[in-house]
Amino acid sequence: MTRLLAAASSSQQRRYLTVSRASAADAGAAKPAARGGRRVGAALADDDDDAANNKKAKTSSSPQQQLIDTNPPRGTRDFFPEDMRLRQWLFGRWGEVSRRFGFEQYDAPVLESEALFVRKAGEEITEQLYSFEDKGGRRVALRPEMTPSLARLVLSRGKALPLPAKWWAVAQCWRYERTTRGRRREHYQWNMDVVGVAGVEAEAELLAAMSAFFADVGLTPKDVGIRVSSRRVLSAVLRLNGVAESEFARACVVVDKAEKLPREQVVSELGALGVSAEAAGAILDAMRCESLDALEQQLLARAGGGGGGGGGGGDNGSDENNAAADPSSSVREAVADLRRLFDLAAAYGYGDWLVFDASVVRGLAYYTGVVFEAFDRKGELRAIAGGGRYDRLLGTFGGADAPCAGFGFGDAVIVELLRDRGLLPDTSRASVDDVVFAMEEGRRGDACAAAARLRASGRSVDFVLEPGKKLKAALKHAERLGAARVVLVGGKEWDERGCVVVKDMAARTQEEVRAEELR
Ligand code: HAM
């Protein structure tokens, strides 16, 4: 089984290496492993189990020896070559979609200043931060997401950055999560973000890219849907229910948990933000509306603003003051934004992937407008991807605000989904074009030259390095690698005619080729 999602391989055995004390002390990398022995398969196990295993590791070592746990820390993965092939395939597909949409790639350090991720809205992500003090006494953190780093990069360029900027990245992210199927302590996340576009045209383009990726890998709208809503709708609901604007971000984080927590707990957490029980009930009811029309009617009735109608522009956040003064115009604008997004999706041709769902809030405090979440239609897996509009994040870092929208798309759930649907490519075998084999050790120099010639012409070549290997074993090795050809250097073909023998592995034919004509 591939291990891109190694959490699923709970049957994996603990891996221990015995090393002498002297070599363990010499090998810096060995120390943490010996102290904190954890395992990939244990990602599904309890901490108690981990503690017991650590104890075992300590007690079973003799005074001269200690056991090194060769497993990576809990919730993290090793990528063996077969895992890397799958990972590279996935990253390649992400990169290909990003390229087709005209986005530019960027990157940033995994280690960032902790301050970048400290937000006070009670989000899970900030509670799960891997943070520590470095040797210089600075508070640093392993990034749990890419968006604050993107904001930092955008701010550092200031006005010199031509807008709109459309950027993409694949970033390793770290969250101290309870590991489950599709949730790990480290994951890779494809990010696409648009900076500098205030209207839902940005979200429409982002969702076009996301659905293009799904279609590229063979998924259909029957497998995957993308739930869409807007924080502006929720903000209107909160405003209508008397929640102070300063509490919106916190309230959104609470409402996001509504599906996972008992209703009373949500009502009580909202109560702590000054929301009455009646208002909390109204908020939760609005979140259950199944259509935009129904939601609009319900909210306008409560706002006393009369019946439906489109009204408002697609310009997120442009009329905050008007909206605050007139809740019904705020509702109309939020709903108009969503209508326009659905119209654009239909024009692009990916409308079938989208579903309006008023309950989508997303757990990150910084979203200000449209929010969305890709989900498995069978309902077996966690969210596949998520994103939205965040027009005020830059301002929270002390810079000038710029309208931004984007998404993050993890590697874990999508691999589970593709595996379940039989859509993963076969990456079990390495692939090389040619295997070059010296028939006699005396011909190794000539074989080196043949391999160099082939490589210079762009072919990938596995050169058989072990002296004295038998031809039969070399051919078997070539078959296992899936090589297209085997090039044999030596024998009478070489001695008498200066030729190598090129075997075509698929056609089971062979021909003599002059060494200088090999390509
Ligand atoms: P997020 O919803 O926290 O958003 O994460 C986005 C996606 O990353 C999730 O839907 C999931 O695919 C993946 N993911 C998150 N945590 C884990 C985990 N522990 N293990 C495996 N996969 C995980 C963000 O991170 C935003 N910064 C996305 C964004 C970009 N919004 C605007 N631009």
Residue having the nearest C-alpha atom to atom 12 of ligand 1 = 410
Arithmetic mean of pLDDT over the chain: 85
SS3 state at 2: coil
Residue 449 CA to ligand 1 center (angstroms) comes to 49
Answer whether residue 342 shows pLDDT above 90.
yes
What does the pLDDT read at residue 300?
A: 84
- Ligand 1 pocket: which residues have CB below 6 Å? 125, 145-147, 175, 177, 183-184, 187, 189, 191, 193, 364, 383-387, 406-410, 412-413
What lies within 8 Å, CB to CB, of 152 at 6+ separation is 108, 112, 116, 397
Instruction: Catalogue the long-range contacts made by 119-124 (C-beta closer than 8 Å, 24 or more residues apart).
Output: 119/365, 119/366, 119/396, 121/249, 121/250, 121/252, 121/253, 121/365, 122/250, 122/253, 122/254, 123/253, 123/363, 123/364, 123/365, 124/363
Please write the tens of the pLDDT for every residue from 206-217. Answer: 999 999 999 999
Distance 77 CA to ligand 1 centre (A): 18
pLDDT of residue 29: 34
**Predicted confidence (pLDDT) per residue in 154-179, tens digit:** 999 999 999 999 999 999 999 999 99
pLDDT greater than 60 at residue 488: yes
Average pLDDT over residues 98-106: 98
Residue 22 has pLDDT above 70, yes or no: no
Span from the CA of 180 to the centroid of ligand 1 (angstroms): 15
Is 323 within 8 Å of 312 (Cβ atoms)? no
Q: 226 - beta bridge partners?
A: 354, 374
What is the amino acid identity at position 211?
S
Quote the pLDDT of residue 47: 40
- Distance of alpha carbon 74 from alpha carbon 184, whole angstroms: 9
Q: What is the pLDDT of residues 56-82, one digit of tens each?
A: 444 445 656 788 899 999 999 999 999
What confidence score (pLDDT) does residue 305 get? 52
Closest CA to 19 of 11, 29, 30, 8: 30
- Type of residue found at 76: T
The set of residues, in sequence order, having a beta carbon less than 8 Å from that of 517 and lying 6+ positions away, is none
- Which ligand 1 atom is at minimum distance from the Cα of 184? 20
Which atom of ligand 1 is nearest to 387's Cα? 31
The pTM (predicted TM-score) of the whole model is 0.85
Instruction: State phi, psi for 179 to the nearest 5 degrees.
Output: -80, 130
